[in-house]
Structure 1
């Protein structure tokens, strides 16, 4: 990661700067909020494209209210008022692609598999950040990435061994990870000029328009047929999208994209636990070991304060 893109660190064995600590907390909360989405997609009584649209569309009123509150707190701050910047529009487009392939993947493989491949986004963040933006990351982040990938692989090892028929869904999950990686970079770029609430709201408008057109073209029906169906979509919208994507946008304004994307591996752990509780998908000891690898990897890659020079 280039120096310009890395938040300033202090140099003493001290606590992380408040902004960075808040960013890490927001990223962890975002991962947990998004972890319930694959199980909810399975429970929705609409198709994968319709659920993708409602996931974003139903969150728009909440995101609009958040944006208005953000603007009211800083009415004269031009950076927070930049509207539909190129990075924000790009974030909306790649997020629509992410959800398109993600919801298909969830319907065609196990929750653990789909989540693992989607959360492999850090690989693409590092690769695209280097190829497109010339960003470099340090050895701790690369070591943490390796541990997280090994841990994620352990989470799905059992599924790979006994479910080769999931290959198509796994492939869709890989494509999801590519789009999610691009999404991290786009939101990180958008947050340099625009507030978190506005980025999340405006990218959601772009994504909702794309997903609505997709759902109308490919789904037999757009509306849920039961109150429980609407309830599932509402939770998906408010928790996974408004909460998850909103917190992710907050975090990416305070942390490097490469480290932030590593924290998303927590989603794989939480999703496997949710799938075990809600869908009855088994969790075996090797998956527990994989979760431990992920936690260690995030710890290894954590931002490190540096000592402040003595005047």
Structure 2
């Protein structure tokens, strides 16, 4: 799975922590009564606020970026903002299982994009693991898909959100070779939050007047799935290829569906539970054999990445 020298601690453990924390996102969103764009805005602004104590350490890099780097950060931030807007809206229209299962298309889109832009390839075992996970994910949501009304719209919004986050992941992989994790995350979160602020302003959504419970949910979203989820995955892009990082989303339907069953009374069938086990096996296979997933030396992608530095 390495694309750079590994740190001393386990990347796999951090990877698992990231999967667990992002799974809480759908629960917190369903608990909130605020507009989803307002939730996304404060989720990201509060994350930036929590990151400020480390800003002094990175003060030089924060404001000494090239025009190309700013362009990449802006593109990544806008894609992240669109992901939150589309996917979080989908949770208001369809079940957690259906919404999160569509996110499992992300690694496929990222793998295709990685092949196109970075000339990366996956070995047979990785493809087999991905196939198992996707099949299991589809089975989890099969009982919840509804081809009409609000549920269909929710499924479509989740698909748009998946396309946006795949683009965000690919841009992030390109950016992280020349920008530190802190600087990348700080500006991407700020740009995504600001794009949501403009969206809220244009739609006349209130910025204040929310109950303390709502502010608590905004803060939980900033700490749990954003800092320990999105930030962590963006950091892992330095050491793991983009497709492997995006594979984490395949574990999300399992944990999110279990949490939805426990906390939102969205029940799971025996078939869905079995499918969840299949996803975990697929993710394990992908991680286990991911060490063979590398860019060919001297590829055109290497040249592009060196230009970004």
How high is the TM-score relative to the length of structure 2? 0.85
How much has 1:161 moved relative to structure 2? 6.5
Aligned residues of 1:31 and 1:267 also touching (Cα < 8 A)? yes
How much has 1:211 moved relative to structure 2? 0.7
How much has 1:163 moved relative to structure 2? 8.0
**Residue number among 217, 232, 241 corresponding to 1:232 in the alignment:** 217
How much has 1:223 moved relative to structure 2? 2.8
Aligned residues of 2:127 and 2:286 also touching (Cα < 8 A)? yes
Mapping of residues 131-142 of structure 1, within 5 Å = 131-142=116-127
**1:109 partner SS:** coil
Decide which moves more: 60-69 or 148-157: 60-69
Mapping of residues 92-171 of structure 1, within 5 Å = 92-160=77-145, 165-171=150-156
1:90-139 per-position Cα deviation (integer Å, ceiling 9, x unaligned) = 21111011111011111111111111112321011012222344332222
User: Where do 5+ consecutive residues of structure 2 fail to align?
Assistant: 293-309
Aligned residues of 2:104 and 2:249 also touching (Cα < 8 A)? yes
1:151-184 per-position Cα deviation (integer Å, ceiling 9, x unaligned) = 1111111112798751110011111111111111
User: Whole-Å Cα distance in 1 between the matches of residues 110 and 8 of structure 2?
Assistant: 19
User: Whole-Å Cα distance in 1 between the matches of residues 136 and 55 of structure 2?
Assistant: 37
1:48-75 per-position Cα deviation (integer Å, ceiling 9, x unaligned) = 1111111111111112334545x38xx8
Alignment partner, residue 7 of structure 1: 3
User: Whole-Å Cα distance in 2 between the matches of residues 80 and 22 of structure 1?
Assistant: 32
**1:135 partner SS:** coil
**Residue number among 18, 40, 51 corresponding to 1:30 in the alignment:** 18
Decide which moves more: 234-243 or 18-27: 18-27
1:230-260 per-position Cα deviation (integer Å, ceiling 9, x unaligned) = 1111111121212211111121111011111
1:202-249 per-position Cα deviation (integer Å, ceiling 9, x unaligned) = 111111110101112225423352111111111111212122111111
| Alignment pair present for 1:282 and 2:267 | yes
**2:7 partner SS:** helix
| Alignment pair present for 1:59 and 2:44 | no
How much has 1:85 moved relative to structure 2? 3.8
User: Whole-Å Cα distance in 2 between the matches of residues 184 and 94 of structure 1?
Assistant: 9
Alignment partner, residue 165 of structure 2: 180
**Residue number among 167, 184, 195 corresponding to 2:180 in the alignment:** 195
Decide which moves more: 263-272 or 102-111: 263-272
Decide which moves more: 83-92 or 281-290: 83-92
User: Whole-Å Cα distance in 2 between the matches of residues 94 and 298 of structure 1?
Assistant: 25
Aligned residues of 2:103 and 2:249 also touching (Cα < 8 A)? no
**2:136 partner SS:** helix
User: Whole-Å Cα distance in 2 between the matches of residues 225 and 206 of structure 1?
Assistant: 23
**Residue number among 273, 297, 304 corresponding to 2:282 in the alignment:** 297
Structure 1 pair 138/66, CA: closer, same or farther in 2 (3 Å)? farther
**1:119 partner SS:** helix
**Residue number among 18, 21, 33 corresponding to 1:45 in the alignment:** 33
User: Whole-Å Cα distance in 2 between the matches of residues 88 and 220 of structure 1?
Assistant: 26
Aligned length: 289
Aligned residues of 1:95 and 1:207 also touching (Cα < 8 A)? yes
